[in-house]
Amino acid sequence: MRNFGRVKLSTWLLAAMPLALAGSNAGAQSTYPAQPIKMMVGFAPGSATDVLSRVVAQGLSERMGQPVVVDNKSGAGGSLAADAVAKSKPDGHTLLFVSSAIAVNPAVYPKLTFDVNADLTPISLVGRAPLVMLVNQSVGVKNLSEFIAKAKTKPGALNFGSSGQGGAAHMATELFSMTAEVKLVHVPYRGNSQAITALLGGDVDLMMDTLINALPQLKSPKIHPLAITGDARSALAPDVPTFREMGLPQFDTRVMFGVMGPANMPKTMVDRINKEIAATLKSKDVASRLSEAGGLTLDGGSPEEFRLTLRKELAMWKKVAAEAKVVADQ
């Protein structure tokens, strides 16, 4: 009888353990966040991704009851920060603010140390920023149609600069070349500022850049904006026509921004962060600051919607990289 009692007690304890653990996890989630949240950014301070991440982080700080601190870990097109988050604890205290690079990198870096689909959790799409096509005045074109015509007349005679091999701007220009059926020569630089300097100096003919980076260049007499992506003109650059207006509606890629976390985050935690991001984006102050920072069109939406958007972006950039034969420098 004594042994039978012990067996019954052991069986009861084993059965109760999952319930106790579940209660413990629920308790941990109910007190979330229990400490400051680190939001990692894979680009340097002052970059478009960094600027936008800080606006979102400040809004989240006010809603989450804990500081949300931006931590810049630049390198490998944002992959170093993504790898660090992928390897972090899925407790919601380490997040990743991403740009389109998160979808581009798997297509151009053959040796990534993480898998976007398997090792990261989509939490919320934040928004999309338009891209502006800038041309040096020495090229002698007044609009996009004239540029395309000139490029088709002399295949490979015109070049374009970017912030680096396999970067978002490089890939966007490759996509433009395929869409417009023109051949352009890529000239990569080590950073956006160097590429802009080259464009201003006439060392390169063309450059695709986010509106947030391009705004100061629009005032230069050496630079002429040809077109901007998006459904409508930006209030920040009302004189710049859209690609749709200029007869190229099929080219409408924009830089995507969002928030992700490590894999295996509890759904309740993901939903909580998603909810607070949505509320942050609805704030008039945050929406205004994001719009002023770079003409950002706010998206939001559910984690699943963000997951589907990522899959589409991953497939698109994989196709572009394969066709253009792009491999980033490791």
Flag whether 234 is in a domain: no
Q: How many structural domains are present in the chain?
A: 3
Expressed as residue numbers, the domain containing 307 is: 32-129+256-324
Answer yes or no: do 19 and 76 share one domain.
Answer: no
123 and 149 both lie in a single domain: no
Provide the pLDDT for residue 145: 97
In a shared domain, residues 181 and 224: yes
The answer as to whether 237 is a domain residue is no
pLDDT at 29: 52
Same domain, 68 and 123: yes
Order the strands of the 223-228 sheet from edge to edge.
185-188, 159-162, 206-210, 131-136, 223-228
Last residue of a domain, one of 228, 248, 277: 228
Report, as ranges of residue numbers, the positions in the chain whose pLDDT lies below 70: 1-30, 294, 330
Q: Do 114 and 151 sit in the same domain of this protein?
A: no
Find the CATH number of the domain harbouring 196: 3.40.190.10
Q: Is 196 within the bounds of a domain?
A: yes
* Per-residue pLDDT tens over the stretch 131-164: 999 999 999 999 999 999 999 999 999 999 999 9
Place of tokens 């962060």: 273
Residue-level pLDDT at 285: 86
**Are 277 and 209 part of one and the same domain?**
no
Q: Do 84 and 104 share a domain, yes or no?
A: yes
**Quick check: is 71 in a domain?**
yes
Among left, alpha and beta (phi > 0; psi -120 to 50; other), residue 76 is left
pLDDT at 21: 46
* Same structural domain, 139 and 98: no
- pLDDT digits over 173-202, tens only? 999 999 999 999 999 998 889 999 999 999
Residue 330 lies in a domain: no
Q: What is the pTM of this model?
A: 0.87
Sign, Cα dihedral of 225, 230, 232, 238: negative
Residue 330: predicted pLDDT? 63
CA dihedral 59→64→66→67, nearest 10 degrees, is: -20
Please tell me whether residues 120 and 138 are part of one structural domain. Answer: no
Q: Is the dihedral of CA 274, 280, 283, 289 positive or negative?
A: negative
The three-state (H, E, C) secondary structure of 82-93, written as one string: HHHHHCCCCCCC
In this structure, is residue 246 part of a structural domain? no
pLDDT for residue 47: 87
Q: DSSP code of 41? A: E
d(CA 244, CA 120): 34
Residue 268 located in a structural domain:
yes
